[in-house]
Amino acid sequence: MSHKVLIIGAGGVGRVVVFKCAQHPEVFSEILLASLTKSKCDVIATDAMKATGHTKISTAKVDADNVPELVQLIRSFKPALVLHVALPYQDLTIMDACLETGTPYLDTANYEPKDVAKFEYSWQWAYQDRFKAAGIPAVLGCGFDPGVTNIFTAHAAKHHFDEIHYLDIVDANAGSHGKAFATNFNPEINIREITQKGRYYENGKWVENEPHEIGKMINYPDIGPRKSYLIFHEELESLVKNYPTIKRARFWMTFGDEYLTHLRVIQNIGMARIDPVKYKGVDVIPLEFLKYVLPDPGELGENYTGYTSIGCRIKGIKDGKEKTYYIWNNCSHEAAYKETGTQGVSYTTGVPAMLGAKMMLDGHWGGAGVFNVEQLNPDPFLKELGPSGLPWHEAEGVDLEMD
Ligand code: NDP
Protein backbone atom coordinates (compact mmCIF):
# COMPACT_ATOMS: atom_id res chain seq x y z
CA MET A 1 0.00 0.00 0.00
CA SER A 2 1.24 3.48 -0.71
CA HIS A 3 1.19 6.39 1.71
CA LYS A 4 1.84 10.07 2.18
CA VAL A 5 4.79 10.96 4.40
CA LEU A 6 5.69 14.30 5.93
CA ILE A 7 9.45 14.75 6.39
CA ILE A 8 10.51 17.65 8.64
CA GLY A 9 14.07 19.02 8.34
CA ALA A 10 16.03 19.80 5.18
CA GLY A 11 19.62 19.30 6.35
CA GLY A 12 22.07 16.57 5.37
CA VAL A 13 19.95 13.84 6.93
CA GLY A 14 16.72 15.24 5.46
CA ARG A 15 18.30 15.12 2.02
CA VAL A 16 19.16 11.43 2.35
CA VAL A 17 15.72 10.57 3.77
CA VAL A 18 13.97 12.27 0.84
CA PHE A 19 16.21 10.50 -1.71
CA LYS A 20 15.72 7.10 -0.06
CA CYS A 21 11.93 7.48 0.36
CA ALA A 22 11.72 8.62 -3.25
CA GLN A 23 13.37 5.32 -4.29
CA HIS A 24 10.26 3.56 -2.90
CA PRO A 25 7.25 5.19 -4.55
CA GLU A 26 5.31 1.98 -3.91
CA VAL A 27 5.47 2.82 -0.18
CA PHE A 28 5.95 6.59 -0.12
CA SER A 29 3.62 7.67 -2.91
CA GLU A 30 3.59 11.35 -1.87
CA ILE A 31 6.31 13.16 0.03
CA LEU A 32 6.05 16.58 1.63
CA LEU A 33 9.36 18.04 2.81
CA ALA A 34 8.91 20.90 5.27
CA SER A 35 11.51 22.93 7.12
CA LEU A 36 12.33 26.43 8.35
CA THR A 37 13.80 27.53 5.02
CA LYS A 38 11.59 26.47 2.11
CA SER A 39 14.28 27.16 -0.52
CA LYS A 40 16.45 24.39 1.01
CA CYS A 41 13.50 21.98 0.68
CA ASP A 42 13.01 23.01 -2.95
CA VAL A 43 16.61 22.15 -3.87
CA ILE A 44 16.35 18.71 -2.25
CA ALA A 45 12.96 17.98 -3.82
CA THR A 46 14.17 18.93 -7.31
CA ASP A 47 17.37 16.89 -6.99
CA ALA A 48 15.55 13.83 -5.58
CA MET A 49 12.89 13.86 -8.32
CA LYS A 50 15.62 14.14 -10.95
CA ALA A 51 17.65 11.29 -9.42
CA THR A 52 14.79 8.88 -8.74
CA GLY A 53 11.95 9.72 -11.13
CA HIS A 54 9.50 10.16 -8.20
CA THR A 55 6.99 12.78 -9.30
CA LYS A 56 5.17 13.75 -6.13
CA ILE A 57 7.56 15.57 -3.82
CA SER A 58 6.27 18.91 -2.61
CA THR A 59 7.70 21.39 -0.10
CA ALA A 60 6.48 23.75 2.60
CA LYS A 61 7.78 26.13 5.22
CA VAL A 62 7.13 25.17 8.82
CA ASP A 63 8.46 26.30 12.17
CA ALA A 64 8.51 23.01 14.04
CA ASP A 65 8.82 24.82 17.38
CA ASN A 66 5.24 25.95 16.80
CA VAL A 67 2.60 23.28 17.51
CA PRO A 68 -0.41 25.05 15.88
CA GLU A 69 1.64 25.59 12.69
CA LEU A 70 2.58 21.89 12.65
CA VAL A 71 -1.01 20.80 13.32
CA GLN A 72 -2.26 22.94 10.45
CA LEU A 73 0.32 21.46 8.06
CA ILE A 74 -0.45 17.88 9.15
CA ARG A 75 -4.22 18.48 8.85
CA SER A 76 -3.89 19.86 5.35
CA PHE A 77 -1.51 17.15 4.00
CA LYS A 78 -2.86 14.21 6.05
CA PRO A 79 0.31 12.10 6.12
CA ALA A 80 0.32 8.49 7.35
CA LEU A 81 3.52 9.30 9.28
CA VAL A 82 5.69 12.22 10.36
CA LEU A 83 9.41 11.55 9.92
CA HIS A 84 11.30 14.10 12.01
CA VAL A 85 14.88 14.89 10.99
CA ALA A 86 15.03 18.55 12.01
CA LEU A 87 16.75 19.11 15.39
CA PRO A 88 16.29 17.35 18.75
CA TYR A 89 14.87 20.62 20.16
CA GLN A 90 11.71 19.99 18.11
CA ASP A 91 11.00 16.42 19.30
CA LEU A 92 8.34 17.36 21.83
CA THR A 93 6.49 19.93 19.72
CA ILE A 94 6.32 17.47 16.81
CA MET A 95 5.15 14.70 19.15
CA ASP A 96 2.46 17.07 20.47
CA ALA A 97 1.28 17.81 16.93
CA CYS A 98 1.24 14.08 16.10
CA LEU A 99 -0.90 13.40 19.17
CA GLU A 100 -3.29 16.20 18.30
CA THR A 101 -3.75 14.87 14.75
CA GLY A 102 -3.48 11.12 15.49
CA THR A 103 -0.37 10.69 13.29
CA PRO A 104 2.45 8.14 13.88
CA TYR A 105 5.87 9.66 14.64
CA LEU A 106 9.52 8.69 14.05
CA ASP A 107 12.76 10.53 14.90
CA THR A 108 16.54 9.98 15.03
CA ALA A 109 17.71 11.82 18.15
CA ASN A 110 16.33 12.27 21.65
CA TYR A 111 14.99 15.53 23.00
CA GLU A 112 17.37 18.14 24.38
CA PRO A 113 16.27 21.39 25.97
CA LYS A 114 17.96 24.27 24.17
CA ASP A 115 19.37 25.86 27.30
CA VAL A 116 20.87 22.72 28.94
CA ALA A 117 23.21 20.39 27.06
CA LYS A 118 21.59 17.28 28.44
CA PHE A 119 20.16 14.50 26.38
CA GLU A 120 18.06 11.74 27.89
CA TYR A 121 14.84 9.90 27.10
CA SER A 122 12.83 10.98 30.17
CA TRP A 123 10.96 13.74 28.33
CA GLN A 124 9.91 11.50 25.45
CA TRP A 125 9.21 8.41 27.59
CA ALA A 126 6.79 10.63 29.53
CA TYR A 127 4.57 10.58 26.37
CA GLN A 128 4.00 6.80 26.74
CA ASP A 129 0.46 6.98 28.14
CA ARG A 130 -0.66 9.64 25.69
CA PHE A 131 0.53 7.70 22.61
CA LYS A 132 -1.02 4.53 24.04
CA ALA A 133 -4.32 6.29 24.62
CA ALA A 134 -4.22 7.77 21.11
CA GLY A 135 -3.56 4.28 19.69
CA ILE A 136 -0.53 5.39 17.64
CA PRO A 137 3.22 4.64 17.72
CA ALA A 138 6.12 7.02 18.34
CA VAL A 139 9.38 5.37 17.29
CA LEU A 140 12.43 7.00 18.86
CA GLY A 141 16.02 7.11 17.68
CA CYS A 142 15.92 5.41 14.27
CA GLY A 143 19.20 6.68 12.75
CA PHE A 144 22.43 4.69 12.94
CA ASP A 145 23.49 5.38 16.51
CA PRO A 146 20.95 5.46 18.03
CA GLY A 147 19.03 3.28 15.64
CA VAL A 148 20.88 0.50 13.86
CA THR A 149 23.10 -0.04 16.92
CA ASN A 150 19.95 -0.73 19.00
CA ILE A 151 18.64 -3.06 16.28
CA PHE A 152 22.01 -4.86 16.05
CA THR A 153 21.75 -5.44 19.81
CA ALA A 154 18.16 -6.68 19.48
CA HIS A 155 19.26 -9.06 16.71
CA ALA A 156 22.12 -10.39 18.88
CA ALA A 157 19.76 -10.86 21.84
CA LYS A 158 17.21 -12.67 19.68
CA HIS A 159 19.50 -14.91 17.61
CA HIS A 160 22.92 -15.16 19.26
CA PHE A 161 22.70 -14.88 23.06
CA ASP A 162 20.68 -16.12 25.99
CA GLU A 163 22.09 -13.27 28.06
CA ILE A 164 24.03 -10.21 26.97
CA HIS A 165 26.59 -9.18 29.61
CA TYR A 166 28.97 -6.69 27.98
CA LEU A 167 28.04 -4.25 25.23
CA ASP A 168 30.54 -1.96 23.51
CA ILE A 169 29.25 0.23 20.70
CA VAL A 170 32.14 1.46 18.56
CA ASP A 171 31.89 4.29 16.06
CA ALA A 172 34.73 5.22 13.72
CA ASN A 173 34.71 7.90 11.12
CA ALA A 174 37.78 6.90 9.17
CA GLY A 175 37.00 9.38 6.46
CA SER A 176 38.76 12.53 5.37
CA HIS A 177 36.98 15.68 4.13
CA GLY A 178 40.05 17.84 3.70
CA LYS A 179 38.89 20.64 6.07
CA ALA A 180 40.89 21.71 9.12
CA PHE A 181 37.81 21.28 11.32
CA ALA A 182 34.24 20.32 10.53
CA THR A 183 31.52 18.30 12.23
CA ASN A 184 29.71 15.53 10.36
CA PHE A 185 26.25 16.56 11.42
CA ASN A 186 24.69 19.69 12.84
CA PRO A 187 27.68 21.42 14.55
CA GLU A 188 25.66 22.79 17.45
CA ILE A 189 24.14 19.41 18.34
CA ASN A 190 27.42 17.58 17.70
CA ILE A 191 29.59 19.86 19.84
CA ARG A 192 27.03 19.81 22.69
CA GLU A 193 27.17 16.01 22.57
CA ILE A 194 30.91 15.46 22.51
CA THR A 195 31.97 18.11 25.00
CA GLN A 196 29.85 16.50 27.72
CA LYS A 197 31.34 14.33 30.44
CA GLY A 198 31.94 10.70 29.48
CA ARG A 199 29.61 8.17 31.08
CA TYR A 200 29.22 4.41 30.96
CA TYR A 201 27.06 1.85 32.71
CA GLU A 202 28.48 -0.73 35.08
CA ASN A 203 26.73 -3.06 37.55
CA GLY A 204 23.55 -1.02 37.73
CA LYS A 205 25.24 2.38 38.02
CA TRP A 206 26.41 5.14 35.70
CA VAL A 207 30.12 5.93 36.03
CA GLU A 208 31.13 9.45 34.99
CA ASN A 209 34.51 10.71 33.79
CA GLU A 210 35.99 13.83 32.24
CA PRO A 211 35.40 14.44 28.49
CA HIS A 212 37.76 12.24 26.41
CA GLU A 213 39.55 11.07 29.55
CA ILE A 214 39.36 7.38 28.60
CA GLY A 215 40.69 6.36 25.20
CA LYS A 216 41.97 3.16 23.62
CA MET A 217 42.97 1.78 20.26
CA ILE A 218 40.17 -0.22 18.68
CA ASN A 219 40.72 -2.40 15.64
CA TYR A 220 37.89 -1.65 13.17
CA PRO A 221 37.28 -4.28 10.45
CA ASP A 222 38.85 -3.34 7.08
CA ILE A 223 39.98 -0.03 8.58
CA GLY A 224 42.50 -0.96 11.25
CA PRO A 225 43.32 0.46 14.67
CA ARG A 226 41.92 3.89 15.51
CA LYS A 227 42.11 5.81 18.78
CA SER A 228 38.61 5.83 20.23
CA TYR A 229 37.28 7.70 23.24
CA LEU A 230 34.61 6.76 25.71
CA ILE A 231 31.66 9.14 25.47
CA PHE A 232 28.06 8.96 26.63
CA HIS A 233 25.63 8.19 23.83
CA GLU A 234 21.88 8.13 24.10
CA GLU A 235 21.17 4.52 23.08
CA LEU A 236 23.00 3.27 26.18
CA GLU A 237 20.13 4.57 28.31
CA SER A 238 17.39 2.55 26.59
CA LEU A 239 19.53 -0.54 25.94
CA VAL A 240 20.46 -1.11 29.59
CA LYS A 241 16.78 -0.70 30.49
CA ASN A 242 15.54 -3.11 27.82
CA TYR A 243 18.33 -5.70 28.37
CA PRO A 244 18.63 -5.89 32.16
CA THR A 245 21.25 -8.70 32.00
CA ILE A 246 23.80 -6.13 30.75
CA LYS A 247 26.57 -5.69 33.31
CA ARG A 248 28.51 -3.06 31.42
CA ALA A 249 27.64 -0.86 28.44
CA ARG A 250 30.01 1.63 26.87
CA PHE A 251 30.17 3.78 23.73
CA TRP A 252 33.41 4.63 21.89
CA MET A 253 33.97 7.17 19.15
CA THR A 254 37.09 7.99 17.14
CA PHE A 255 38.49 11.52 17.25
CA GLY A 256 41.73 12.59 15.59
CA ASP A 257 44.31 14.63 17.55
CA GLU A 258 43.72 17.62 15.30
CA TYR A 259 39.96 17.45 15.90
CA LEU A 260 40.42 17.29 19.68
CA THR A 261 42.82 20.24 19.60
CA HIS A 262 40.28 22.36 17.72
CA LEU A 263 37.58 21.28 20.13
CA ARG A 264 39.70 22.22 23.14
CA VAL A 265 40.40 25.66 21.66
CA ILE A 266 36.70 26.20 20.86
CA GLN A 267 35.85 25.41 24.49
CA ASN A 268 38.73 27.39 25.99
CA ILE A 269 37.84 30.56 24.10
CA GLY A 270 34.18 30.28 25.07
CA MET A 271 32.80 29.46 21.62
CA ALA A 272 31.06 26.31 22.93
CA ARG A 273 28.95 28.38 25.39
CA ILE A 274 25.19 27.97 25.10
CA ASP A 275 24.27 30.97 27.26
CA PRO A 276 23.66 34.32 25.53
CA VAL A 277 26.34 37.03 25.39
CA LYS A 278 25.62 40.62 24.35
CA TYR A 279 27.20 41.60 21.04
CA LYS A 280 26.46 45.17 19.87
CA GLY A 281 23.28 45.12 21.93
CA VAL A 282 22.09 41.79 20.53
CA ASP A 283 21.99 38.48 22.41
CA VAL A 284 24.24 35.96 20.65
CA ILE A 285 24.76 32.34 21.72
CA PRO A 286 28.39 31.56 20.79
CA LEU A 287 27.80 27.91 19.84
CA GLU A 288 24.81 28.85 17.64
CA PHE A 289 26.95 31.49 15.93
CA LEU A 290 29.83 29.05 15.46
CA LYS A 291 27.52 26.83 13.38
CA TYR A 292 27.37 29.60 10.78
CA VAL A 293 31.15 29.89 10.36
CA LEU A 294 31.93 26.17 10.29
CA PRO A 295 31.57 24.10 7.10
CA ASP A 296 28.01 22.92 6.45
CA PRO A 297 28.06 19.15 7.15
CA GLY A 298 25.58 18.63 4.32
CA GLU A 299 28.15 20.03 1.89
CA LEU A 300 31.22 18.08 3.03
CA GLY A 301 30.48 15.23 0.67
CA GLU A 302 32.20 16.24 -2.52
CA ASN A 303 35.78 15.51 -1.49
CA TYR A 304 35.05 13.06 1.30
CA THR A 305 37.01 9.82 1.05
CA GLY A 306 37.15 6.79 3.35
CA TYR A 307 34.59 4.95 5.42
CA THR A 308 32.51 5.11 8.56
CA SER A 309 32.53 1.91 10.60
CA ILE A 310 30.00 1.38 13.38
CA GLY A 311 29.16 -1.78 15.25
CA CYS A 312 28.33 -3.58 18.48
CA ARG A 313 30.86 -5.82 20.20
CA ILE A 314 28.90 -8.07 22.54
CA LYS A 315 29.96 -10.63 25.15
CA GLY A 316 27.56 -12.93 26.90
CA ILE A 317 26.25 -16.44 27.30
CA LYS A 318 24.74 -18.82 24.76
CA ASP A 319 23.80 -22.41 25.73
CA GLY A 320 25.81 -22.06 28.93
CA LYS A 321 29.00 -20.98 27.13
CA GLU A 322 30.65 -17.55 27.00
CA LYS A 323 30.96 -15.98 23.60
CA THR A 324 32.10 -12.80 21.89
CA TYR A 325 30.29 -11.49 18.84
CA TYR A 326 30.63 -8.46 16.58
CA ILE A 327 28.09 -6.97 14.16
CA TRP A 328 28.89 -3.93 12.02
CA ASN A 329 28.50 -1.83 8.92
CA ASN A 330 31.16 0.05 6.95
CA CYS A 331 29.85 2.87 4.76
CA SER A 332 31.77 4.66 2.01
CA HIS A 333 31.54 8.46 2.03
CA GLU A 334 32.18 8.52 -1.71
CA ALA A 335 29.42 6.05 -2.52
CA ALA A 336 27.00 7.95 -0.26
CA TYR A 337 27.85 11.18 -2.06
CA LYS A 338 27.45 9.61 -5.48
CA GLU A 339 23.99 8.35 -4.64
CA THR A 340 22.53 11.23 -2.62
CA GLY A 341 24.89 14.22 -2.87
CA THR A 342 25.88 14.06 0.78
CA GLN A 343 28.44 12.33 3.02
CA GLY A 344 28.39 9.04 4.91
CA VAL A 345 27.26 10.29 8.32
CA SER A 346 24.08 11.83 6.89
CA TYR A 347 23.66 8.68 4.78
CA THR A 348 24.02 6.24 7.67
CA THR A 349 21.38 8.25 9.56
CA GLY A 350 18.95 8.83 6.70
CA VAL A 351 18.81 5.25 5.39
CA PRO A 352 17.62 3.73 8.72
CA ALA A 353 15.15 6.60 9.20
CA MET A 354 13.58 5.81 5.81
CA LEU A 355 13.63 2.10 6.58
CA GLY A 356 12.02 2.57 10.02
CA ALA A 357 9.26 4.58 8.36
CA LYS A 358 8.87 1.83 5.75
CA MET A 359 8.62 -0.80 8.53
CA MET A 360 5.83 1.24 10.15
CA LEU A 361 3.93 1.75 6.91
CA ASP A 362 4.40 -1.88 5.76
CA GLY A 363 2.93 -3.03 9.10
CA HIS A 364 6.11 -4.75 10.37
CA TRP A 365 6.44 -2.25 13.19
CA GLY A 366 3.39 -0.99 14.98
CA GLY A 367 1.53 -0.80 18.23
CA ALA A 368 0.43 2.03 20.44
CA GLY A 369 2.89 3.87 22.64
CA VAL A 370 6.46 5.15 22.64
CA PHE A 371 9.10 2.67 21.46
CA ASN A 372 12.87 2.59 21.27
CA VAL A 373 13.79 0.63 18.18
CA GLU A 374 15.21 -2.39 20.02
CA GLN A 375 11.65 -3.07 21.23
CA LEU A 376 10.52 -3.71 17.63
CA ASN A 377 11.17 -6.78 15.47
CA PRO A 378 14.76 -6.53 14.13
CA ASP A 379 14.35 -9.23 11.43
CA PRO A 380 12.44 -7.41 8.66
CA PHE A 381 14.53 -4.27 9.23
CA LEU A 382 17.87 -6.06 8.96
CA LYS A 383 16.67 -8.00 5.93
CA GLU A 384 16.22 -4.73 4.07
CA LEU A 385 19.12 -2.74 5.52
CA GLY A 386 21.77 -4.14 3.14
CA PRO A 387 19.68 -3.76 -0.02
CA SER A 388 18.86 -0.21 1.14
CA GLY A 389 22.55 0.74 1.05
CA LEU A 390 23.98 -0.32 4.42
CA PRO A 391 25.23 -3.92 4.21
CA TRP A 392 26.03 -5.41 7.59
CA HIS A 393 28.27 -8.24 8.73
CA GLU A 394 28.59 -10.40 11.80
CA ALA A 395 31.37 -12.58 13.17
CA GLU A 396 31.99 -14.66 16.24
CA GLY A 397 35.15 -14.51 18.32
CA VAL A 398 36.07 -11.03 17.08
CA ASP A 399 37.10 -8.87 20.01
CA LEU A 400 38.50 -5.77 18.20
CA GLU A 401 41.49 -6.08 20.57
CA MET A 402 39.44 -4.47 23.33
CA ASP A 403 39.52 -5.66 26.91
P1 NDP B 1 21.13 19.99 9.91
O2 NDP B 1 21.46 21.07 10.85
O3 NDP B 1 21.93 19.81 8.66
O4 NDP B 1 19.59 20.10 9.48
C5 NDP B 1 18.59 20.41 10.38
C6 NDP B 1 17.39 20.90 9.59
O7 NDP B 1 16.33 21.19 10.51
C8 NDP B 1 17.67 22.17 8.79
O9 NDP B 1 17.06 22.05 7.55
C10 NDP B 1 16.98 23.24 9.63
O11 NDP B 1 16.48 24.32 8.86
C12 NDP B 1 15.80 22.46 10.18
N13 NDP B 1 15.25 23.11 11.37
C14 NDP B 1 15.91 23.61 12.43
N15 NDP B 1 15.04 24.19 13.29
C16 NDP B 1 13.80 24.02 12.74
C17 NDP B 1 12.51 24.42 13.13
N18 NDP B 1 12.28 25.09 14.27
N19 NDP B 1 11.46 24.10 12.32
C20 NDP B 1 11.68 23.44 11.16
N21 NDP B 1 12.88 23.04 10.73
C22 NDP B 1 13.94 23.34 11.51
O23 NDP B 1 21.14 18.63 10.77
P24 NDP B 1 21.42 17.15 10.25
O25 NDP B 1 20.65 16.91 9.00
O26 NDP B 1 22.87 16.90 10.29
O27 NDP B 1 20.75 16.29 11.44
C28 NDP B 1 19.35 16.14 11.52
C29 NDP B 1 18.97 15.34 12.76
O30 NDP B 1 19.57 14.05 12.70
C31 NDP B 1 19.45 15.96 14.07
O32 NDP B 1 18.41 15.82 15.03
C33 NDP B 1 20.61 15.09 14.49
O34 NDP B 1 20.78 15.07 15.88
C35 NDP B 1 20.16 13.76 13.97
N36 NDP B 1 21.27 12.80 13.76
C37 NDP B 1 21.11 11.52 14.22
C38 NDP B 1 22.11 10.59 14.04
C39 NDP B 1 21.90 9.16 14.43
O40 NDP B 1 22.69 8.31 14.01
N41 NDP B 1 20.87 8.81 15.15
C42 NDP B 1 23.42 10.96 13.43
C43 NDP B 1 23.44 12.30 12.90
C44 NDP B 1 22.40 13.19 13.09
P45 NDP B 1 17.41 25.61 8.51
O46 NDP B 1 18.62 25.05 7.81
O47 NDP B 1 16.55 26.43 7.66
O48 NDP B 1 17.76 26.23 9.84
312-354 pLDDT per residue, tens: 999 999 999 999 999 999 999 999 999 999 999 999 999 999 9
Q: CA nearest 307: which of 222, 229, 391? A: 222
Look up residue 197 and give its DSSP letter.
P
If pLDDT is split at 50, 70 and 90, which confidence band does 37 have?
A: very high
Closest approach atom of ligand 1 to CA 187 = 2
Residue among 93, 112, 170, 185 whose CB has most ligand 1 atoms within 8 A, to mutate: 185
Q: How far is the CA of 191 from the centre of ligand 1 (A)?
A: 14
Tens of pLDDT, residue by residue over 273-310, are 999 999 999 999 999 999 999 998 878 888 899 999 99
Question: Residue 313: what pLDDT?
Answer: 97
Using the predicted structure, report yes or no on whether residue 403 has a pLDDT greater than 70. Answer: no
Q: How far is the CA of 86 from the centre of ligand 1 (A)?
A: 4
Q: How far is the CA of 109 from the centre of ligand 1 (A)?
A: 10
Question: CA 41 to CA 32: how far, in whole Å?
Answer: 9
Q: CA nearest 170: which of 260, 254, 255, 256? A: 254
Q: CA nearest 351: which of 364, 374, 367, 335? A: 335
Mean pLDDT of the region 372-393: 98
Percent of the chain with pLDDT over 90: 91
Q: CA nearest 10: which of 61, 76, 77? A: 61
Question: Residue 181: what pLDDT?
Answer: 94
Cα dihedral value 42, 45, 47, 53, nearest 10 = -150
Question: Residue 5: what pLDDT?
Answer: 98
Q: Are 305 and 334 in contact (CB under 8 A)?
A: yes
Q: How far is the CA of 73 from the centre of ligand 1 (A)?
A: 19
Mean pLDDT of the region 213-223: 95
Mean pLDDT of the region 163-167: 98
Q: How far is the CA of 305 from the centre of ligand 1 (A)?
A: 23
Q: How far is the CA of 390 from the centre of ligand 1 (A)?
A: 21
Using the predicted structure, report yes or no on whether residue 188 has a pLDDT greater than 90. Answer: no
The ligand 1 site (C-beta within 6 Å) comprises 8-14, 35-37, 40, 62-65, 85-88, 90, 108-109, 143-147, 185-186, 189, 297-298, 345-346, 349
Tens of pLDDT, residue by residue over 83-123, are 999 999 999 999 999 999 999 999 999 999 988 877 899 99
Q: How far is the CA of 253 from the centre of ligand 1 (A)?
A: 21
Using the predicted structure, report yes or no on whether residue 262 has a pLDDT greater than 90. Answer: yes
Angle between helices 344-362 and 148-159 (to 10 degrees): 60
Sorted by sequence, the CB contacts under 8 Å of residue 222 that are 6+ apart come out as 307, 309, 330
Q: CA nearest 327: which of 263, 391, 274, 247? A: 391
CA separation, residue 265 to residues 92, 181, 195, 209, 268 (Å): 33, 12, 12, 20, 5
Residue among 7, 36, 119, 171 whose CB has most ligand 1 atoms within 8 A, to mutate: 36
Q: CA nearest 250: which of 202, 282, 306, 320? A: 202
Question: Residue 383: what pLDDT?
Answer: 98
Report pTM: 0.96
Domains along the chain with CATH numbers: 3-140 (3.40.50.720), 148-341+382-396 (3.30.360.10)
